[in-house]
C-alpha cells in the first residue's frame, strides 16, 4: 500500500491545493492531508476551522485522511509508515524551495518527495493571496473550494 502525506498549513486550503490532492489521490492508495502546527505562526483560521474545511471538502473520498501534526514531517512519516511526501509546484521559485526541503528530508529519513505541477488555471493561487483578498473584503470564493466560507 503506497501512502503519501500532503503537508501544509492550509490557511486556508485553495483550489490549487484541491487540484494537487485530487490528482495525487490517483497516484497513491492513501493520501494523508497533514496540517502542520507551528506555534510561531499567526493563522487567519483556527486549526479546527482549517481541518473542517478540508474534511468537508473530501468527506466522500475514503482514500483521503485529514490529520494535524507537530514537529518534522519526516518524523510523522516514519511514525505512520508513510513513504512519500506529495508537494505541488506553481513556479520555479517553488521548485528551488521544495527541492532543498526534499533533499533535507531524504538526508533525515528514507522518504521520497513526489512533485506535481499545479494546473495552469490555479497556478497563481496561494493561501497568502487568498488571505489578502479576504482581509480586503474581496471575492475569495473563486480561489477556494466551496467548503471554505467565512461566517
Tens digit of pLDDT for each residue in 17-34? 999 999 999 999 999 999
CATH number at residue 63: 3.40.50.620
From 41, 42, 146, 151, the catalytic residue:
41
From 63, 90, 99, 106, the catalytic residue:
90
Please state the rounded mean pLDDT for residues 38-55.
Answer: 93
Tens digit of pLDDT for each residue in 102-121? 999 999 999 999 999 999 99
- Alpha carbon of 4 to those of 24, 39, 134, 141: distances in Å? 9, 25, 31, 28
Q: Find the domain containing 106 and state its range.
A: 3-148
Is 46 considered catalytic here?
no
pLDDT averaged over every residue in the chain: 95
pLDDT recorded at residue 80: 96
pLDDT recorded at residue 38: 84
Please state the rounded mean pLDDT for residues 41-66.
Answer: 96
The number of folded domains in the chain is 1
Please state the rounded mean pLDDT for residues 2-11.
Answer: 97
Please state the rounded mean pLDDT for residues 62-71.
Answer: 97
Binding-site positions for substrate read: 9, 41, 73, 87
Tens digit of pLDDT for each residue in 78-95? 999 999 999 999 989 889
Please state the rounded mean pLDDT for residues 57-64.
Answer: 97
pTM of the model: 0.94
Is 106 considered catalytic here?
no
Binding-site positions for ATP read: 9-10, 17, 88-90, 98, 122-128
Of the candidates 121, 114, 76, 80, which has an alpha carbon nearest to the alpha carbon of residue 98? 114
pLDDT recorded at residue 118: 93
Is 90 considered catalytic here?
yes
Q: Is the pLDDT of residue 65 over 80?
A: yes
pLDDT recorded at residue 95: 93
Degrees to nearest 5, angle at CA 39 with 36 and 40? 110
pLDDT recorded at residue 1: 87
Amino acid at each position: 500500500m503506497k501512502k503519501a502525506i500532503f503537508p501544509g498549513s492550509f490557511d486556508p486550503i485553495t483550489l490549487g491545493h484541491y487540484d494537487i490532492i485530487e490528482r495525487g489521490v490517483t497516484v497513491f492508495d492513501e493520501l494523508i492531508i497533514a496540517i502542520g502546527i507551528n506555534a510561531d505562526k499567526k493563522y487567519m483560521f483556527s486549526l479546527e476551522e482549517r481541518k473542517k474545511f478540508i474534511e468537508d471538502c473530501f468527506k466522500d473520498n475514503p482514500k483521503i485522511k485529514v490529520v494535524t501534526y507537530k514537529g518534522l514531517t519526516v518524523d510523522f512519516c516514519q511514525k505512520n509508515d508513510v513513504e512519500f511526501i506529495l508537494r505541488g509546484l506553481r513556479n520555479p521559485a517553488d521548485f528551488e524551495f521544495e527541492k532543498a526541503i526534499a533533499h533535507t528530508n531524504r538526508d533525515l529519513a528514507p522518504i521520497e518527495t513526489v512533485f506535481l505541477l499545479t494546473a495552469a488555471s490555479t497556478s497563481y493561487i496561494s493561501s497568502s493571496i487568498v488571505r489578502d483578498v479576504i482581509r480586503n473584503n474581496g471575492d475569495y470564493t473563486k480561489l477556494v473550494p466551496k467548503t471554505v466560507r467565512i461566517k
